[in-house]
Amino acid sequence: MEFREEGEGEPVSPTGQYFNSSILSVAILAVLEFEVPFNDSQALSLLQDVFLPINPRFSSIMISDKADQKKQWKRVEVKLEDHVRVPIFPSNMSPESYDEYFDNYISNIAAERLPQNRPLWEIHILKYPTSHAAGTLIFKLHHALGDGYSLMGALLSCLQTAQNPSVPLTFPSLKSSSGPKTTHMTKTVSQFFSSVFQTLSDFSWSILKSSFVEDDRTPIRSGEDGVEFRPITLSTLTFSIDEIKLIKNKLRVTINDVIAGIIFLGTRIYMQEVTQKSSNERCTALVLLRTRNMEGYLSTKEMIEPNNANMSWGNQFAFLHLPVPKSSETLNPLDFVWEAQKMIKKKKSSAASYLTSWLLDVLKKFRGPEGAARYIHGTLKNSSMTISNMIGPVEKMALDNQPVGGLYFMVVGPPQCLTVTALSYMGKLRVAFGAEKGFIDSQKLKASMQNAFGIILEASNPIPPAKAA
């Protein structure tokens, strides 16, 4: 390993240290599905000329300062061959047969920790056709490098619009719609005290959930130690964005509310299918909330500018603890969406994430990064699942003139049996499920989620009554 002498190394952010510790090692898999067999002849030159220049962290390793043990990013000479894997499978099989090889391969790389003696990323090129793609490219990027917003921005900066590479990719607006704001003094004071109460309540509950109160053991949570080291099954579903917008407009909620409602109802349906009884166990979802004020993606050049602190490269997100609504025979399926809306709205008015950040700083000061990482580990372990969603391009993308037909991602490494992610692309929402292999029935889980979507769609669009003769 050769070090570059380029001045002082960049300090590793606290969150970067927490996610790359002996307690936690969290990474992101970004999967690109190509419509034609992937040509990797230019892979190394693309990495050298396009990917590495995006951010110095892609050419750096994490080291500890000998004097004060603080971690820094240190630039190194990157041996690209060490970061590119091209697996060899048996030849001349059907796409359905290659599905099984693909599933086993991605399960294995999800469970592996990235080596610490080289930059924390890998690329896997699968040249075999599956039922989803003619070829597949998998980026594995350590979460210490940045959050989903940063890494998605980096990934998209390597891609172009398929029809016209000179035209930049466009995205749906990230700006959430809101009604008119009142300035009435009485309401303002009321909102202030409501926000203070919600903050204290959320912060107290977060401490309890991270340290003492565990979710019940259910078909999606075994409650056992070490689940982060066990293999997962990665499966996906595709929903129409137009149909989700139809639900959104009918119920007057946000797209995020609809997605959360579908996942909540699907989870309860799955649990009831497995246990053959009413599913009312305590079940909490950790929903990732971005803490940037933004209306769209910035270029990676803009993200690393020092004066762009609010939108800068790095990890800027918070967890929302959302209890999964309990099911009953009389419950309206739309209540899952409305309940998600109510909870998310209340949590967003809370400043608990800032208090949690302060608490992590205190833990880091007195117990070191490992102590803070242990607290985050407890937050994840005591909950049932994590939900994360992002927006993707509206147009079809291409990498080196090779069209991308599908795109999804998965967070791997958290101590949970189930992780759910969602990513929009070309008018479709791709929902991915990272489920512990042998514990969660992925096919039954997918069927439950598909069923939940159908139930909510039908309930939000009732058939109008026939006109009287």
Q: What is the mean pLDDT of residues 275-283?
A: 80
What architecture is the 10-161 domain classified under in CATH? 2-Layer Sandwich (3.30)
Band the pLDDT of 425: cuts 50, 70, 90.
very high
Task: Spell out the residues 6+ positions from residue 337 whose beta carbon is closer than 8 angstroms to its own.
Answer: 247, 251, 253, 257, 258, 260, 261, 262, 456
Q: Which band of pLDDT confidence, cut at 50, 70 and 90, is reported for residue 173?
A: low
Report the percentage of the chain scoring pLDDT > 90: 55
The pTM assigned to this predicted structure is: 0.87
Q: Of the ranges 126-130, 341-345, 455-459, 460-464, which one carries the lowest mean pLDDT score?
A: 460-464
The fourth-level CATH superfamily of domain 187-391+415-460 is Nonribosomal peptide synthetase, condensation domain (3.30.559.30)
CATH 3.30.559.30 residue window(s) in the chain: 187-391+415-460
State the average pLDDT for the chain: 84
The CA-based angle 266-267-269, given to 5 degrees, is: 65
- Read off the pLDDT band of 54 (50, 70, 90): confident
Mean pLDDT of all residues in 324-329: 77
Render pLDDT for 72-86 as a digit per residue (tens, 0 to 9): 999 999 999 999 999
Cβ neighbours of residue 173 closer than 8 Å, sequence gap 6 or more: 295, 296
Q: Which is more confident, 35 or 358?
A: 35
Neighbours of 222 (CB within 10 A): 15
**124 sits in which H/E element:** strand 121-126
pLDDT on residue 156: 82
pLDDT of residue 290: 63
Tell me the pLDDT tens digit for each residue of 9-26: 788 888 889 899 999 999
- Confidence at residue 308, expressed as pLDDT on a 0 to 100 scale: 47
Which pLDDT tens digit goes with each residue over 288-325? 766 555 555 554 445 445 444 444 555 555 778 889 99
Starting at the edge strand that comes first in sequence, how are the strands of the sheet with 385-390 ordered? 232-240, 428-436, 418-425, 385-390, 284-290, 317-323
pLDDT at 174 over 60: no
- Alpha-carbon gap, residue 87 to 26, rounded angstroms: 23
**Contact assessment for residue 399 and residue 32, using Cβ atoms and an 8 Å cutoff:** yes
Choice among 354-358, 383-387, 454-458 with the minimum mean pLDDT: 354-358
Calpha distance 323→16 (Å, rounded): 27
Q: Where in the chain do CATH 3.30.559.10 domains reside?
A: 10-161
pLDDT digits (tens, 9 = 90+) for 133-171: 999 999 999 999 987 777 887 888 888 888 888 877 777
In this predicted structure, the answer to whether residue 93 has a pLDDT above a threshold of 50 is: yes
